[in-house]
A and B are shown apart, each in its own frame.
Chain A
Amino acid sequence: MADFFAQYGDLLLEGTLETLYMTFIPTVIAYCIGLPMGVLLTTTKQGGIMQAPRFNAVFGWFVNLFRSIPFMILIFFVLPFTRLLVGTSIGATAANVPLAIAAAPFVARMVEQSLEEIDGGVIEAARCMGATNWQIITRVLLVESIPSLLRGLSITIITVFGYTAVTGAVGAGGLGNIAFRFGYQRYQTDVMYATVILVVILVCIIQSVCNLLAKKFDKRNR
């Protein structure tokens, strides 16, 4: 055991940090893009506060288009863009580009779902008080849905976390890369098991933290 850690400890630590880097940076970027997209998807719907059904249909189709591209293909598909943006197409930083692009429409749908849960009566009440659309979005929609948004966040993080294994397999580093190199190419199953255990632990931590936050921020059941 001690030998194992002496030999692979640094490697696993580095891989973990890389995986976390490739998880959190794209998630943040994906929310920067996906949150406004989700708000737009919800508010432009028929009966929404800025209803524009035709725009909504086209925009929804656009979001689905990106959602439907398998991630592996998306990585290659956006390679030129990745190169343009970060100057390289390999490594963890380069992986952040397809990861963020894949996660953004996913986030948009998660946010849409969270905002849909809000009772239409509350929105109408805000309108009756003379709230502008912007005020309804920022003070009603995004505030009332905080617990749900946080639960969506945990699902998003874990999904991106899973995607990092794919980018790892195509040379971006991280735990996925280690598992691929040692487990698949060298048959060193002990290293692969170690990565699996690490992954499970990380996912559990992410899920618990998000659940805890969602519960803490939810004022409905006290």
Chain B
Amino acid sequence: MIEIKNLSKIFNTKSGQVVALKNVSATIENGDIFGIMGMSGAGKSTLLRCLCLLEQPTEGQILLDGKDVAHLKGKELLAAHRQMGVVFQGYNLLMQKTVAENVAFPLKLTAYDKVAVQKRVAELLELVGLADKAESYPSQLSGGQKQRVALARALASNPQVLLCDEPTSALDPLTTKSVLELLKDINKKLGVTIIIITHELSVVKSICNRMVVIDNSQFVEQGSTQAIFENPQSSMARLLLGKED
């Protein structure tokens, strides 16, 4: 379970303070596929960077099974990183490494058992349907395939949570559908909690069971996806759903 508790992030810039997150709270249950939806500039990216521990919040906590991970340092931070897999919009694969080496990368950071690593990589590539591409390089793959590699890599260390930052924004509709199917499948098979940050309605609608709407640095609405889609309360949700003129 992940609890986001009273999280705030304020950036000090030359032109003054910029509030990127204002006292946001949410609880994400184990096994959820949780959508965080908002327009550009709403604070989505900052929230993601806080969640994947690249950025420390100014205030508040991120509790992973009751333990605050938002303010860790050193070895504890490295260990916390390994409990979260992250998939990025731009894939961020190592271009000079093969698909198999990319997936093995997080494993090799800690493990030295070559055979075990190989076995795990084969398993993961099988899971994302790219077993035949193990020896290819990222430049030889399509966008959807690259995202599958990124997904396999993010899952390599058996994370509790999978964070997805606009995972399908660079993909065409058909590829988007197949990647979303895969995410759903992984959620079911591995029981991993998935958090998806996106501006695409269709993504949230098709796979998220719960969601929040973020607007102007705040969570303006949260609840089950179905309830929000049927009866949006906040003006931003109504706007996003096209229920407001």
Contact = CB atoms under 8 A, between A and B. Distances in A.
Interface of A: 119, 121-122, 124-132, 135, 139-140, 143-144, 146-147, 217-222
Contact of B96 (A121, A135, A144): A144
Interface stretch (B6-14, B30-38, B79-87, B218-226): B79-87
B131 to A, nearest CB: 20
Contacts, number: 73
Given A130-B78, A139-B105, A125 B139 contact: no
A195 B90 CA distance: 52
A219 B139 contact: yes
Contacts of A140: 94
Nearest to A124: B54
B140 interface: yes
Contacts of A146: 96
B52 interface: yes
Which one of B82, B109, B137 has the greatest number of beta carbons of chain A within 10 Å? B109
Contacts of B78: 130-132
B94 A122 contact: yes
Contacts of B94: 122, 140, 143-144
16 contacts: A122-B94, A124-B92, A125-B88, A125-B92, A128-B86, A129-B81, A129-B153, A130-B81, A131-B78, A132-B78, A135-B109, A139-B108, A143-B97, A218-B96, A219-B97, A219-B98
Which one of A130, A146, A221 has the greatest number of beta carbons of chain B within 10 Å? A130
Interface residues of B, number: 29
A220 B139 contact: yes
Nearest to A146: B96
Interface SS majority for chain A: helix
Given A143-B96, A144-B95, A146-B96, A121 B140 contact: no
A122 B97 CA distance: 12
A128 B92 CA distance: 11
Given A144-B95, A144-B96, A129 B109 contact: yes
B133 to A, nearest CB: 13
Given A130-B79, A219-B137, A221-B139, A121 B84 contact: no
B93 interface: yes
A220 B96 contact: yes
Contact of A220 (B52, B95, B98, B157): B95
B95 A130 contact: no
Query: Which 5 interchain pairs have the tightest Cβ spacing?
Result: A130-B81, A125-B92, A129-B106, A121-B92, A219-B137
Given A122-B93, A124-B92, A144-B96, A222 B106 contact: no
Contacts of A132: 78, 109
Contacts of A135: 109
